[in-house]
Amino acid sequence: MPNASPEPQANLGLDCRECGVCCRGRPGTVLVEARDQELWERHRRLDLVERLAPGHFSLPALPTRSDGQCLYQGTPEHPHDCSIYGLRPQACRDFTAGSAACLAARRAGRRD
């Protein structure tokens, strides 16, 4: 998932739970900031810190499965839900449904 800034446009009626393509991509692209790690430590989720993968620019990133899907995408209730939604990294929080980055990810993932 690319790191995208929130954009003022509406989400265009897109439902992230019906897509989830932004949670699939190349390993090392969802970068994790120090403040994300601090949040996880405060919530005693050291497992999230320990599972970090090497990311672009020598920064830590969310781990992915062999098919590029984020390790945390999918719950027993829904395949596109985020299993760490309340503690998701800032890069994921900043990714806005309907933004240019979202629409590009949907096109690349054939969800347009």
Q: What band does 11 get if pLDDT is binned at 50, 70 and 90? A: low
102 by DSSP, 3-state: which?
Answer: helix
- Tell me the C-alpha distance between 107 and 70, whole Å: 19
CA-based torsion, 6, 81, 56, 41: positive or negative = positive
Indicate the range of 58-62, 66-70, 93-97, 108-112 predicted with least confidence: 108-112
